[in-house]
Amino acid sequence: MIFGVLKDNKVGEYRVIMTPVEAAAIKDDGHTVLVQKDAGVLAGFANEQYEKEGAEIVETTEEMYERCDFIAKVKEIEESEYKLLKENQIIYTCIHPAAHKEQVQAILDSKCIAFTAEDSHRFGSVNCEAAGKQGALMGLQAMLTINGGKGKFVSGLAGAPGMKVLILGGGLVGRSALQVLHSLGAWCTVMDINYGTLRDIGKTYNEKVNTQLSTKQNIKKLLPEIDMVINCVKWPKEREDYLIDRDMLNLMEKGSVIVDISNDTDGAIESFRETTHENPTYIENGVVHYCVSNIPGAIANSTSVAYAASVLPHIQSILNSGVKSACMKDGFLRRSLTAYKGYLTHEETSAIQNRPWIKPEDVLHIKEEKLDPAPPATSTRSTNFLSM
């Protein structure tokens, strides 16, 4: 196949999905590798490094889409790219389809084969780890007096207490944020709906981290004494309530900080609105909000190296074995199939956008084969099925 590494053009995005190391591996498998000019420059990888590994540098996005059988990048497909998508072309990127109706329609109209990368990670995405760790540090930046925050130092000073932090969600993102903040001396509380998760966190940190069941009532009781909230909850998109609504902001002291790493429109934080690295914060009801959607882009080199290594097996499997075989061998890749030649194959998107869908194993005609199992990507279910 002809495989292409696209340059991400989302505002404030500096990562690249393939470093020269992975490009060389794909080249060694016998495929042609095209890299869009300067795709890796901001992450620390020059065009010449890709060329040294046998890749061809291509000037424009248009030429990349025109020539490539399989194309990959880090973030969503931008509106300017919709018209470039081609029938049968394979796309692998973070689509977040349930939240992007127009993007999904463009994918379906093109009859391409699209995988949403965020659902394909068996052990959690390294971008989640990066978002949690760097998001915690960005929250500390927002806490500075010069940025509108309270001006508290994370671990405190002699005679001045350290910060109290509430982390909502004890998954990979929340644990990554906790790892940074606890090591820096913050007083941390983690809330989750899973007692097993809370017990495991308590054991890991020798009960030096407070844990509580995640409920709106418990949050209300705690907010008056909390300096920073880190939201790491993947809030079900069909819900119309919030974990923290606007009225609850009045419970927080002025200059407190909310870091919304989950970054969901209609998510767990009612006062959320997406921001960028160029203008990362806003203040509502006296509370500083940090809501950048691509936090890992701020540490583009580290995240690119880690992310490229983690997705290479999926990409090689598709390139070397084809979509059908690759989806049979890996249930996590199969569940990430979002659209196949005009058919929606993503359950959450079906439920949220009220679109009919077909299961990946049905559209690929592999349901009778021996399939690698995988749990559903989300708790959202849809029975709005279509037949081929």
Strand (E) positions, the chain? 2-5, 32-36, 56-58, 70-72, 90-93, 113-116, 164-168, 187-192, 210-213, 228-231, 257-260, 281-284, 287-290, 337-340, 343-344
Reply yes or no on whether 260 is catalytic: no
- Exactly one of 31, 96, 289, 314 is catalytic; which is it? 96
Q: How many CB atoms lie within 10 A of CB 373?
A: 8
Indicate the SS3 state at residue 28: helix
Backbone angles phi, psi at 313, to 5 degrees: -60, -40
Question: How deeply is 276 buried, as exposed, middle or buried, from its count of CB atoms within 10 A (0-12, 13-18, 19+)?
Answer: middle
Reply yes or no on whether 96 is catalytic: yes
Strand (E) positions, 43-96? 56-58, 70-72, 90-93
Q: Which residues contact 171 (CB under 8 A, 6 or more apart)?
A: 124, 128, 192, 197, 232, 234
Query: How many Å apart are CA 5 and CA 150, to the nearest integer?
Result: 43
Largest Cα–Cα separation, the chain: 69
Query: By the 8 A CB rule, do 231 and 204 touch?
Result: no
Paired residues of 114 in beta bridges: 91, 339
Name the amino acid, one letter, at 137.
L
- Exactly one of 192, 227, 260, 264 is catalytic; which is it? 264
Query: By the 8 A CB rule, do 357 and 346 touch?
Result: yes
Query: How many Å apart are CA 284 and CA 66, to the nearest integer?
Result: 45
Query: How many Å apart are CA 135 and CA 328, to the nearest integer?
Result: 36
Query: By the 8 A CB rule, do 377 and 125 touch?
Result: no
Query: By the 8 A CB rule, do 283 and 148 touch?
Result: yes
Catalytic positions are 96, 264
